[in-house]
Structure 1
Amino acid sequence: MEQPGPTDGGEDVPNGAGGRAPPAPVEVVVEEEAGEDEEEPPRPATAKQEEAKAGLGAEGSRPFTMRELLGEIKEDNEAADGSGGGALGSALPEGNGTGSADVEGSSSSQESTQQFQSHHDVAMDLINSVTGVDEEGRSRQRILSFAGKRYVNAIERNPDDPDAYYNWALVLQESADNADPSSGSSKDALLEEACKKYAEATLLCPTLYDAYYNWAIAIADRAKMRGRTKEAEDLWKQAILNYEKAVQLNWNSPQALNNWGLGLQELSAIVPAREKQTIIKTAISKFRVAIQLQFDFHRAIYNLGTVLYGLAEDTMRSGRPDASPNELYSQSAIYVAAAHSLKPNYSVYRSALRLVRSMLPLPYLKVGYLTAPAVDNAIAPHKNWERSQFVLNHEGLLQSDASDQPPSQSRKPFWIAVADIVSVSASADLTLPPGAGLCIDTVQGPRFLVADSWDALDGWLDALCLVYTIFARGKSDVLAGIVTG
């Protein structure tokens, strides 16, 4: 199913209504659009590179590391051109990277040199075909050409240096990003060459996380150029395998998990219908884990909203009795609202929110049922726990139907203020009634609840953590504006 971006119109969609295109997902790409309220002090280059992995762009996936590298060497470009020197070498020194050794004085066989020279000729011809449309583009092309020659020379001196292959692949990938858009074959050829270099790097160093991550991005870019064909399906599957490998090497990478989920989402639009639901559910799990690793990761939050929206559309069309389209629409709206709250100046989120806001249980963010003990007795006997309706907004979690009782018999409602929350987690406490336990630790002590199902528990955990994250980032007023209008 094609997923164009949301319209800019202000009309809302009634609960359960189809016919509107879901919000377009966003991928972790090169550089983040700086918010007016976010000003960070300068950081070391390695931190900048890691941050660049989490960047957001609206024009598709592009490699992040080479762009950072180019930014660092621009100031030294003239000196590098004059001396053939070490601007790039200082960014990633030859012979001193992962799995490599300093071989400045060693010699390679003539056959090996000729082999790499042949690869060099192909790659450099491709790089030199990149055309810059302005002075900055032409300057970048010169840097790329210089970088390509630098790394091929490093490989000629030491064919077993994975860093040289990795950096050469980044040069090719960046060249593809700067290629003339009308020259699709040139871009694809550059990406194909980059993939070959990543394969060499990972063969020499199987634990090179960044190589698998950027290799997957390059494959995904090639897949996007092929639409919804069998060739594209095969490429998406390759990209997914590389994201999986990257996550195996670095499980604490929400960026790789986010892109893995996007790859699965793209694949689900190509495979036969009988395979689609399984792939979509796997994509949801990847986005959810990415969020759990970094609860202010607004791209993954937004992408989870888009995939749930698509699932709601499919569920409505298929009429499956095992899922509620309205519930899926509501879940989708929660994540879109959270992403907008964290990044209110980003137009994509603002447009998507106009599409889904009416799907929220306004004036609340979430409404559902939980089983709770009497407020004044957290370890009450199981028979005294009651299932009742709870509502969550920007201020906290409230047991909403306690007030329906006569005033003389009314008990104090179960209420947790967002500002009082310390942590939120699933709970296996044996004193809880059977079911999906939830512990909300507060400054006054832990509060326990039981959700109706494990799926419902996931929704409550995410919603509570997102509301607290929005509060901690000082954006509660944005969320308040969404739910109260």
Structure 2
Amino acid sequence: MEDSARPTPADSGELPNGARMAEDAVVAPDAAEAPEEGEESGIANDSETNAALGAEGEPSRPLTMRELLGELKDSGEPSSGRSTLSEGNGIGSAGAERASQDSLQFSSHHDVAMDLINSVTGVDEEGRSRQRILSFAAKRYVSAIERNPEDPDAYYNWALVLQESADNVDPDSSSSKDSLLEEACKKYAEATRLCPTLYDAYYNWAIAIADRAKMRGRTKEAEELWKQAIMNYDKAVQLNWNSPQALNNWGLGLQELSAIVPARDKQTIIKTAISKFRSAIQLQFDFHRAIYNLGTVLYGLAEDTMRSAGPDVSPNDLYSQSAIYVAAAHALKPNYSVYRSALRLVRSMLPLPYLKAGYLTAPPADNTIAPHKHWERSEFVLNHEGLQQVDASESPSSKPLGHMGRSKKYIKVAVEDIVSVSACSDLTLPPGAGLCIETIHGPLFLVADTWESLDGWLDAIRLVYTIFARGKSDVLAGIITG
């Protein structure tokens, strides 16, 4: 297949929609595509907090972006977003402006960043209003740093403002955007120096570095920036292992890096990217962005394997694996055009009318605890209805799932009966990679040929169940039977 037809990975680097204190919640931009209409984007859990005011009415800590918006509303910010003050005086009513100016003395240390923020102008009324809010927020955080230079939260929020301002820059002004992101990185570095366990800062710092890398194409400078971003995603995951967004972005960073490094290093990086996407999915089975990205990286690996004629894995197997993840992402988000276009490219690579077909070693259907000598390696197929053992004398492509093996009892697991799916190591099982499917009728044990093969079965069965649980089985059925 032509390289130009390759499914493109969902974009990373989506920025938070508002600054907030690090302890409020984790900043978790989904970081894989622009949000669809009606879909939440940016912050995963932006909880509202109340400002703690000192005796003079001055905040004793940096205000979050939500608090600043609330304060502006209370102080009479015009609904149109237009400022009642002259250009360059900040945002909001005169009262809000005075509040932000109390006892402010900006040092030269912050002049460059403030000048950069004040130079940004939105391209429309909404953008200009947003930028006025960012300018106002910046002054608050600089003020907090002046009062307490050892406050990591102030540096963190200050960095978020710079990062948001970079997102508000005219698309044609790449130098201004890069300068803002560079300043944001400096603030994140200071925040993490003061508080080395600040997960949010490492996560958003990595996004800022990744955005800078994207501006540099496939250059040596971009390679170094991608490596820095990957290191920060690594640190973020170390601090918060339960973050599918960070794992997904980590995988995307590795995928970008693999396109720059020498060919001898590419395979190792790609395999690491696959493991990050898979880890993200295992934390959140309906994380369609990571599911789709795993499909794209497998597709790219299939293309490379086809060109290099590598002996390890069949390119057809990789293409088929890629198609499973693209199909699952589309089933979970059927209205998303990127997934729909990619599916058209890879659908024929599926073992239609099934999602997955392959071999597993299984016990007799009527005696699941039979001795090893009675277990047999046979073909299994998986579709929207469940998992089915195939009679070797019958063609799985010519018979629907429910009509196979009528003359003999074969293993069949309906998707609605599944409770959990997991890998297992048990001495009572035949040699190989153990698979346990817990059902409402009890456990079923099967054995895959290799642990790598087992990963594919685990993902596929879990995805089919997740699609069923989300009420999208009909979409999956249309993909593989339509």
AA in 2 matched with 1:83: G
How many residues are paired up?
431
Of 183, 190, 196, the residue aligned with 1:193 is 183
Q: Assess, with a 3 A threshold, how the Cα gap between structure 1 residues 23 and 455 changes in structure 2: closer, same or farther.
A: same
1:23 aligns with 2:7: yes
Ranked by relative contact order (alpha carbons within 8 Å, sequence separation 6 or more), the top structure is 1
1:449 aligns with 2:439: no
Q: Is this contact kept in 1: 2:362–2:376, CA < 8 A?
A: yes
Q: Is this contact kept in 2: 1:397–1:415, CA < 8 A?
A: yes
Deviations 1:331-390 (A, max 9, x none): 000000000000111111111111110010000000000000001111111010000000
RMSD: 3.0
Q: Equivalents in 2 of 1:31, 1:231: separation in Å?
A: 22
Q: CA deviation at 1:184?
A: 1.0
Q: Equivalents in 2 of 1:269, 1:127: separation in Å?
A: 33
Deviations 1:215-261 (A, max 9, x none): 00000000000001000000000000000000000000000000000
Q: CA deviation at 1:400?
A: 1.3
Q: Equivalents in 2 of 1:356, 1:268: separation in Å?
A: 22
1:311 aligns with 2:323: no
Match of 1:57 in 2: 33
Q: Assess, with a 3 A threshold, how the Cα gap between structure 1 residues 265 and 466 changes in structure 2: closer, same or farther.
A: same
AA in 1 matched with 2:114: M
1:60-209 mapped onto 2 (5 Å cutoff): 64-65=42-43, 73-74=68-69, 76-78=71-73, 79=75, 81-84=93-96, 117-209=107-199
1:408-419 mapped onto 2 (5 Å cutoff): 410-419=407-416
Q: CA deviation at 1:66?
A: 12
Unaligned residue ranges in structure 1 (runs of 5+) = 1-16, 33-43, 89-103, 108-112
Percent sequence identity is 76
1:24-423 mapped onto 2 (5 Å cutoff): 24-27=8-11, 30=14, 53-54=29-30, 56-58=32-34, 64-65=42-43, 73-74=68-69, 76-78=71-73, 79=75, 81-84=93-96, 117-401=107-391, 404=394, 410-423=407-420
Q: Is this contact kept in 1: 2:358–2:381, CA < 8 A?
A: yes
The alignment partner of 1:53 has SS state of coil
AA in 1 matched with 2:178: D
1:474 aligns with 2:458: no
Q: CA deviation at 1:122?
A: 0.8
Q: Equivalents in 2 of 1:282, 1:154: separation in Å?
A: 41
AA in 2 matched with 1:134: D
AA in 1 matched with 2:205: W
Range moving further from structure 2, 366-375 or 120-129 = 120-129
Q: Equivalents in 1 of 2:22, 2:368: separation in Å?
A: 48
Q: Assess, with a 3 A threshold, how the Cα gap between structure 1 residues 56 and 72 changes in structure 2: closer, same or farther.
A: farther
1:433 aligns with 2:433: no
Q: Equivalents in 2 of 1:87, 1:278: separation in Å?
A: 55
The alignment partner of 1:389 has SS state of strand
Q: CA deviation at 1:74?
A: 3.9
AA in 1 matched with 2:232: N
Q: Assess, with a 3 A threshold, how the Cα gap between structure 1 residues 160 and 442 changes in structure 2: closer, same or farther.
A: same
Q: Assess, with a 3 A threshold, how the Cα gap between structure 1 residues 64 and 253 changes in structure 2: closer, same or farther.
A: same
The alignment partner of 1:431 has SS state of coil
Q: Is this contact kept in 2: 1:169–1:193, CA < 8 A?
A: yes
Unaligned residue ranges in structure 2 (runs of 5+) = 36-40, 47-63, 76-91, 396-403
Deviations 1:423-468 (A, max 9, x none): 0000112211011000000000000100011100000000000000
Q: Equivalents in 1 of 2:228, 2:268: separation in Å?
A: 18
Q: Assess, with a 3 A threshold, how the Cα gap between structure 1 residues 67 and 227 changes in structure 2: closer, same or farther.
A: farther
AA in 1 matched with 2:116: L
Q: Is this contact kept in 1: 2:254–2:273, CA < 8 A?
A: yes
Q: Equivalents in 1 of 2:392, 2:132: separation in Å?
A: 70
TM-score between both structures, scaled by the size of structure 1: 0.83
Q: CA deviation at 1:22?
A: 1.4
Q: Equivalents in 2 of 1:408, 1:154: separation in Å?
A: 73
Q: Equivalents in 2 of 1:87, 1:367: separation in Å?
A: 66
